[in-house]
Structure 1
């Protein structure tokens, strides 16, 4: 990706979060990125192409986050790493902003993108199965839902005790 493409994506991500996807024009994105509107069309086709590039960027970053979990073979470590994953993203301000914007776009456009978590869900099901949980699929789904909720609370509620909640979950699952 070129420096200009990166500037365009960052500007679009910020504007989509600030003003909403529907209210943001490509001319506003071009002005914020300090590029011509034509450059946006050349690289991304149109506003929808720009949105798809941002969504793709989120999927790539999610894959990076999930990689260590997916390759783990110890079932307790799988669960522990998944629970601790949110801590890794909460340490870096740039990462927090990126995920906040991804969540905002997801809500505005009512796009969940459950395919992003399919691989980690399968690994969690396998871990819960190996640990002999009665309903491994439901445990995996519950943990995915809890982590999604934790991320939302962390992003929206400044006083939320993320570390305490993570420790509680690790104790609950004995990891």
Structure 2
């Protein structure tokens, strides 16, 4: 990706999240990015193409975040890494800003993108199976849902402290 494409995506992500996807024009994105509107069309086709690129960027970053976790052979360590992932992300200001914007777009357009969670879901199911949980699929689903809720609260509730809940989850799963 070129530097100008990155500028366009960053500007679009920020504007879509702040003003809403439907309310943001490509001319406004171009002005914010310091490029011509024609350059947006050349690289992304149209506003929908720009949105697709932003969503794809989120999926790529999610894969990067989950890569070390899904490759972890020890099931308890896999669970610990997944549960602690959100604490690590919460300490990175750029990552927080990126994911906040991704979540805002997801909520506005009612796009969940559950396919980006498939690899981590399968890894969690396998971990719970290897740890002999009675219902590994349901445990994985529960943990995914809890962590999604924690991420949502962290994003929406300014002073939310997730560390206590993370510690509780680690105790629950004996990690």
Name the TM-score, length of structure 2 as normaliser.
0.99
CA displacement, residues 126-159 of structure 1 (integer Å, 9 cap, x when unaligned): 1101111111000000000001000010111122
- Match of residue 30 from structure 2: 30
- Match of residue 139 from structure 1: 139
Post-superposition offset of 1:161: 1.4
Post-superposition offset of 1:165: 1.0
Matches within 5 A, 1:60-139: 60-139=60-139
RMSD: 0.6
Post-superposition offset of 1:93: 0.7
CA displacement, residues 85-130 of structure 1 (integer Å, 9 cap, x when unaligned): 1112111111101000000111111110110000110110011011
Distance 1:7 1:119 in 2: 30
SS in 2 for 1:103: helix
- Match of residue 7 from structure 1: 7
Gapped regions of structure 2 (runs ≥ 5): none
Distance 2:159 2:26 in 1: 36
Name the TM-score, length of structure 1 as normaliser.
0.99
Distance 1:142 1:38 in 2: 46
Runs of 4+ in 1 over 2 A off after TM superposition: none
Post-superposition offset of 1:60: 0.5
Gapped regions of structure 1 (runs ≥ 5): none
Distance 1:174 1:3 in 2: 46
Distance 1:128 1:121 in 2: 11
Distance 1:163 1:101 in 2: 22
Distance 1:128 1:85 in 2: 18
